[in-house]
A and B are shown apart, each in its own frame.
Chain A
Amino acid sequence: MATISARTAAGIGAVAAAGLLLTACSGGGGVATPGETGAASEGTTTAEITFWDPYPQREAGSDWDNLVKACAPEGSTITRTSAPQTDLFNQLTTAVKEGNAPDVVLLDNPLTPDAAASGLLATAEQAGIDTTGIDENLLGPGIVDGVTYGVPMGSNALALYYNKDILDAAGVDPASIKDWDSLNAAIEKVVASGSKGITFSGIAGEEGSFQFEPWFWGAGADFSDLASPEAISAGQLLSDWVGKGWAPRSALNDNQSASWDLFLTGEYGFAENGSWFAAAAADNEDFTVGMVPIPGKDGGLAPVPTGGEFAVAPLQSKDASDHYANAAAVIDCLVGGDNAAKTSETLGYLSANPEIRAAQVSSNDLWTPWVDIITGAQGRTTELGADYPAVSGKLSEAEQAALNAAGDAAAVETAFKDAAGS
C-alpha cells in the first residue's frame, strides 16, 4: 500500500514538474514569430472564421451581427467577438504574439499605423483586400511607408448639432455661423435666452483629442507644434466656454455618449458630436435637431478628423494563406463593390468610396450635409503615422489642463507649453 501511494505521488510530482517546464517555455522563446509569407490567392477558406470588431453595443442578433455572419463563405461560419477600441488593439497584439490572431479585425483608424509599424498586420495585397476607388484622405491612415494595410469600413465625422427650438427662441439663425466669432455670438444669444450653450466631450484620452482636433486644426495649428499660438487659441476657445458657463464643467470627464445625453435633455443649444448620431438626431421627438459644420477660426469648414474603422487582416504564423483567404472573402463581402453601401448604412457611416457615397446620399437625405465634411476631413495619422498616439496623449493633457483653467488665459498657455515640452 505504502509503495503504491509513494509511486503514485512521485508520478504526480513528475507530471507537475513537466507542466512547470512547459509553462516556463510558453513565456519564453517557444512561440513562433509570425511570418510574412502567404497570400490570399494561394489559400482556401476554412470552416471557422474569426472576426473581431469594436462594437460591443451591437449584440448578437443585431443587424450588424447578421450582416457579418451572412458574409461567411459557403461551408464556413463566422465567430464574432467585440471589445472596446483600445482593448481590442491590445488583445490583437497578444493574439499575434501567441500566433492565434483572428482572420479579420476592424481596427480604429488612428491605431492602424501603429499596428502596421509594430508588425501586426498583413498587407492589403497579401490579404487580397481591394482598395480601389477609396477616397485618399480616408485611406490615408491605412498606408504606412507606401504600403496599404487595410480598407476603411466607411467614415464618420464630427459636426455641430443644434436644438432648433432653442435657437428659434433665442433668435439665432444657424446659417449665420461661419467662424468662431459668429459661433460665440450664437452661443451667447442662446445663453442669454435662458438655455445652456454647448456640450462636447473633453474626456482624457483619444476620444477627447478626437473632439478637440476640429478646433485645433480649424485654428490653423498642426501637430508639429502643440504650443503654437493657433493651438493655444483653440484651447482658449473651449476653456472660455467652460469658464463662462456656456459648456458644462462635466465636459472634462464626459465621453461622447455622455455629452450627447446632455444635449438630449433639451437644455443645450449646441452639441459637438458625430455622424453616428445623425439617425438618432433625425428621429428625436422631444425637439427638432439641426446640424451645421464646425467652422474654422476665420471662416470656412474646419477639417474634422476622419472617424471609423479599418478592416485589416492580422499577420498569421500558421496556414497564413488560408487565413488571408478568409479575410479576403469576408472583407470583400462587407465593403467590396456595392456591398459597401449596405454596410455603411448598417453602421451609420458614410461610404469611403465617393461613388457609393453619392448613391447613399441620393437614397437617404440625412447624409446630404455630411458629404462636404467627410470630403474635407483629415486623417489623424496623416502627419505623424505611428507616432500619432503619443502626440494625441499630450494634446489630451493640454486640453484637460485648458478646461480646468476655465478661461484663465495664462493657465491655458502654460497647459499647451507644458504638454509640448513633456
Chain B
Amino acid sequence: MTNAAGALVAEATTTGEAVPPRPRRSRARWAAVAFVAPLLVYLVVFYAFPLVQNVAMSVQRYDRGTFVSGGAPFVGLDIYREVIGQPKFWRIVGQTATFTLVSITFQYVIGLALAVFFHRSFKLSATLRAMFLVPWLLPVIVSATTWQWMMNPDNGAMNTLVGWFGIEPVWWLNAQHSLMSVTIANIWLGIPFNLVILYSGLQNIPTTLYEAAAIDGAGPWRRFWSITMPLLRPVTLVTLLLGLVYTIKVVDIIWIMTTGTGTSQTLATWSYGMAFGKGTSGVIQYSEASAVGSILLVIALAFGLIYVAVQRHEEG
C-alpha cells in the first residue's frame, strides 16, 4: 500500500512537471478536486471509516481473541437476529422511547416557558438566564453524582422534598423507578439547551407583530398561539430533532446514576456495557454492541430524514 501511495505522489509530481499545460478546463477540474480533497479525507477518516467498521463488526462474530488476531467469522445478519430476538430487546426499545420522548417533551415545554419568560427582559433577567445555564456548564460526572446523592432512598434530598407533599419516601434508583429518576435528571440537564435556542428564536420574531396584534386586541395567550408558536416553528423543529438525537444516545448520566440497571437500561447504555464489558454485561461483546449501535444509528437517521422532509414541505 505504501508503494501504491508513493507511486501516486510521484505520478502527481511528474504530471505537473513534465506534461505541457493542459486545456484550462482540465486544470480547473484538478483544482476543484484538490479543494474538495481535504474535506473528503476528513469525512472518510472520521465518518465513513468508523461507520463502515461498526457495521463490519456487527456482521462478524468477534470476541476478544478474534478481535486481536483477526479471523472473526462472517455471520451475516445473525447477530442482529440474536440481539432483536432477546426477550429484553423490545423492553429496552420501549424504555429508550420513553426516556427520549418524555425527556424532550419536558425539556421543550419548560425551555420554551422560560424563554418566553425571559424574553420580556426585566431587571436581572440576564443574570437569572445565565444561572439557568449552570446544568449545561457542569461536567456530567458532577451533576449525575449529585443527582445520585439527592436520590438516595434513605436520606436523600429528593425524599425530603416529596415528604413535604405527604408522599412516601421513594426508592428512586431501584429497578422499577430508575427510568423515571434518570429521566428527571436528564430533563434538568437539557433545559438550558432548549432555553438558549428557543430564546434566540424568539428574538428573531419582529416586535412590531406583537404590537400590531396588541392594538387589534389580542391577549397574551392569543399572541403566543398565533404569533410566537407559528413563527417559532423552524426553530422548534431544529430543537426537537437535535434534542432527540442527543437524548437517544445518552450514556453518561444514566451510567453514572444506575449503571443502566433495571428500567433505566436504554439501547445506548446496553450497547456501551457490551462494548466495554462493563456492568452486568460482564464479558465484552463487540459484535452485539456494534449491532445495537447500528440500530441506534438507523433510528437517528430516520428522524433526520423526517426532519429534512418536513423542512422541504415547509419551504415548498
Contacts and interface: CB of A to CB of B under 8 A. Distances in A.
B67 A6 contact: no
What is the interface of chain B mostly: helix, strand, loop, or mixed?
helix
A389 B49 contact: no
Nearest to A249: B153
A252 B174 contact: yes
Interface stretch (A86-94, A122-130, A172-180, A230-238): A86-94
B235 interface: no
B208 interface: no
A203 B259 contact: yes
Interface stretch (A19-27, A144-152, A365-373): A19-27
Interface stretch (A112-120, A158-166, A221-229, A325-333): A112-120
Interface in B1-25: 1-2, 4-6, 8-9, 11-13, 15-16, 21
B171 to A, nearest CB: 5
B19 to A, nearest CB: 10
Given A11-B13, A249-B153, A23 B64 contact: no
Contact of B175 (A29, A119, A203, A404): A404
Interface stretch (B89-97, B106-114, B277-285, B303-311): B277-285
Contacts of B11: 14
Contacts of B15: 10
Contact of A119 (B33, B44, B69, B174): B69
A21 B282 contact: no
B175 A27 contact: no
A119 B259 contact: no
A205 interface: yes
A21 B4 contact: yes
Contacts of B5: 17-19, 21-22
B154 A249 contact: yes
A25 B153 CA distance: 53
A17 B154 contact: no
Interface string B35-56: 1011011001100010001000
A90 B171 CA distance: 34
Interface residues of A, number: 60
Interface stretch (A46-54, A210-218, A394-402): A394-402
B258 A253 contact: yes
Contacts of A252: 173-174, 261
B34 A12 contact: yes
Interface in A372-404: 389-394, 396-397, 400-401, 404
B117 interface: no
B164 interface: no
B64 A27 contact: no
Interface string B190-226: 0000000000000000000000000000000000000
B68 A205 contact: no
A5 B6 CA distance: 22
A16 interface: yes
A135 interface: no
B65 interface: yes
Nearest to B24: A2
Contact of A393 (B31, B173, B280): B280
A9 B30 contact: yes
Nearest to B260: A204
A86 B284 CA distance: 10
B281 A393 contact: yes
Given A23-B45, A252-B174, A205 B259 contact: yes
Interface string B255-269: 001111110000000
Contacts of A17: 5, 8, 37, 41
A20 B41 CA distance: 6
A30 interface: yes
A206 interface: yes
Contacts of A57: none
B30 A119 contact: no
B154 A114 contact: no
B31 A205 contact: no
Contacts of A89: 277
A217 to B, nearest CB: 18
B166 interface: no
B282 A117 contact: no
A391 B283 CA distance: 9
Contacts of B78: none
Contacts of B281: 393
Contact of B68 (A27, A120, A250): A120
A252 B264 CA distance: 14
A87 B276 contact: yes
A47 to B, nearest CB: 27
Given A6-B31, A9-B35, A20-B44, A400 B280 contact: yes
B261 A204 contact: yes
A316 B124 CA distance: 63
A28 B49 CA distance: 11
A22 B31 contact: no
B27 A119 contact: no
A164 B123 CA distance: 59
A285 B66 CA distance: 52
19 contacts: A6-B27, A13-B30, A20-B41, A24-B49, A27-B49, A90-B284, A97-B68, A118-B64, A119-B69, A204-B259, A204-B260, A252-B174, A253-B173, A389-B282, A390-B282, A394-B282, A401-B175, A404-B176, A404-B262
Closest 3 CB pairs of A and B: A393-B282, A9-B34, A14-B12
Interface of B: 1-2, 4-6, 8-9, 11-13, 15-16, 21, 27-28, 30-31, 33-35, 37-38, 40-41, 44-45, 49, 53, 63-65, 67-70, 148, 152-154, 171, 173-176, 257-262, 276-284
Interface of A: 2-3, 5-7, 9-25, 27, 29-30, 33-34, 86-87, 89-90, 93, 96-97, 114-115, 117-120, 203-206, 248-250, 252-253, 389-394, 396-397, 400-401, 404
